[in-house]
Amino acid sequence: MLLLLTYISSLIFSQNTEIFIGIEKKISVENIIIRDFKTKTSDTFINDIANNIKEIVRADLLFSRYFKVIEIEEDIKTDENLKYLSRLGNYILSAEIDLSTSTITIIATLFKISEKRNLFKKIYSSDLNALRKIAHTLSDDIVESIKNVKGIATSRITFSNDSTGYKEIYMIDYDGENLKQLTNHRSISIVPKWSADGTKIFYTSYRYGNPDLFIIDFREGKIKIFSKIQGLNIAGGTSPDNNKLILTMSRGKDPSIYTIEIHSKEIQNLISNFGVCSSPTFSPDGKEVAFISDRAGNPQLYIYNLETKRYRKLTNFHWVDSPNWSNSGKWIVFSGRETKHEKLNIFITDPTTSVIMRLTRNEGDNEDPSFSPDSRFITFISTRNGKREIYVMDIDGSAPHLLSSKIKGNSYTPMWSR
C-alpha cells in the first residue's frame, strides 16, 4: 500500500541535460517560404488578425523541427522568380484572410516550387474565438502534406492544478495558449487521462469523499461519475480501440490493475497477487500493459503481456513511477530515482531491449512524463524553479522549456492528448 499512499500524498500536497544520439533518427529539415498573409482591406483590425494567424503557423512549423521558415513579401510566380525562390526553399505558403461579422475565413495555398504545382488549396472557416484552432489546423495540414505524418499543433495537454486553492482539472493548447479550467469541484481532482479518441478526460476526484472516477465528455458537454466503487479509482488510460479503461482500484484490498468496459461497466481484475500495483498504461497495439509494482520490494516498472499472461521487469531502481507508452510503441518514459538520495528524474526505455537512458539531471524533481501524439516530445512536471511547473522537451531530453508562464500555482500529472 506504501507506493499508492505515497503517490496520492504527493498529488495532494543552467541546463545539464544529456543528449542521447539514436533515440530518434535524423529528420530532414525542409525550407518553407511563408508570404505575408493578405487581406482584401486596409482595416487595421483584420490585418492584425492576418499577422497573428501567420505568426501562429510560423511558430507551429518551427516547433515541429521539420522546417526552416523563410519569410518574404513578394507574390509573383514568374519562372524567373520561382528560380530565385527555389534557392531559398521548395515550398511556398500563402493565404488570404477574410472576416465577415464574427466569422474568420482562411484560403491557404501550399505550393511546391520544384513541381510548379499546388500541394493543396484549402478553405478554413470558424468563428473568431477559434482563430488559434484553425491556424493550428492549417499547420498540421502542412506537416501532413509535406512530411506525410500527423502534426501535433491541434493537440492539447490536460493536468491538475491548485491555483484556486483546490486541485482542479485544466486543459491548455500544446503551445501554452488557451488555458481553460474544466472542473470546479472545490475538492481534490487529480490524474486526468485522455481517452484514445480525445473526446473524453477521465480523472479522480474526492468531491464526494471517496476517490471516485469522473469523465469530462466534450461531445456531450457534461461531467459525470464513471466509477464510484469504494476505495481508489485512478485512471491509467483507455485501450487503443477506446472500448476499455485500464485503472488502479483497491476495492478494499491492496491496489491493483483492473479494466472496465466503457459501455457495459464490466470490471475485470487484470493483475492480481503481484504486490501493490499502479500507474498502468496500454501499449499502442493494446497487447501489453506497462505498470508499477512493489513486488520486488521497491516500486519497479513491469510489462504484462495480455496474450501470454507473462510479466517482465524493466528496471532495478530505488523508485519508479508514472510510465507512459509512446504512440509509436518504441519507447516508455517514466520518472524515478536510481538511488535513494537523488532527485526524481525522467528516463526513457526501449521495452524490447530494456536499455534505459536518463533525460534530466540536477534540475529539481522531474516527474509525471507524457509523450506527444507523434512520440517526439515529452511533457513533464519539474520543480527546477521552486514550484511544480509543466515543461516540454524533445524526446532526447534536449530543449526543455516552460510550457506557459500563464499557469499559476502548482501543477500535477500532465497528459498530452492522443
Q: Please report, to the nearest 10 degrees, the dihedral formed by the alpha carbons of residues 9, 12, 17, 19 taken in order.
A: 80
The C-alpha angle with vertex 384 and arms to 379 and 390, in degrees rounded to 5, equals 25
- 24-58: pLDDT as tens digits: 667 789 999 999 999 988 889 999 999 999 999 99
Q: Among 244, 188, 186, 216, which Cα is nearest to 417's?
A: 216
Q: Is 416 left (phi over 0), alpha (psi -120 to 50) or beta?
A: beta
pLDDT at 23: 65
| Whole-prediction pTM | 0.91
pLDDT at 75: 62
Length of the chain: 418
Q: What is the rounded distance in angstroms from the CA atom of residue 381 to the CA atom of residue 346?
A: 10
pLDDT at 265: 94
In this model, does residue 221 exceed pLDDT 70?
Answer: yes
Task: Using only the alpha carbons of the chain, give its radius of gyration.
Answer: 23
In the DSSP assignment, the letter for residue 188 is B
Q: What is the rounded distance in angstroms from the CA atom of residue 167 to the CA atom of residue 369?
A: 19
Is 320 in contact with 297 (CB distance < 8 Å)? no
In this model, does residue 4 exceed pLDDT 90?
Answer: no
Q: What is the rounded distance in angstroms from the CA atom of residue 88 to the CA atom of residue 113?
A: 10
Helix (H) or strand (E) holding 118: strand 117-127
What is the pLDDT confidence band of residue 252, given thresholds at 50, 70 and 90? confident
In this model, does residue 87 exceed pLDDT 90?
Answer: no
User: By CB neighbour count within 10 A (0-12 exposed, 13-18 middle, 19+ buried), where does 83 fall?
Assistant: exposed
pLDDT at 253: 80
Is 294 in contact with 2 (CB distance < 8 Å)? yes
**Grid cell digits, residue 221:** 458537454
What is the pLDDT confidence band of residue 73, given thresholds at 50, 70 and 90? confident
What is the pLDDT confidence band of residue 320, given thresholds at 50, 70 and 90? very high
Average pLDDT for the chain: 91
Q: What is the rounded distance in angstroms from the CA atom of residue 374 to the CA atom of residue 140?
A: 12
Is 50 in contact with 394 (CB distance < 8 Å)? no
pLDDT at 78: 59
Sheet of 345-349: strands edge to edge? 319-325, 332-337, 345-349, 356-358
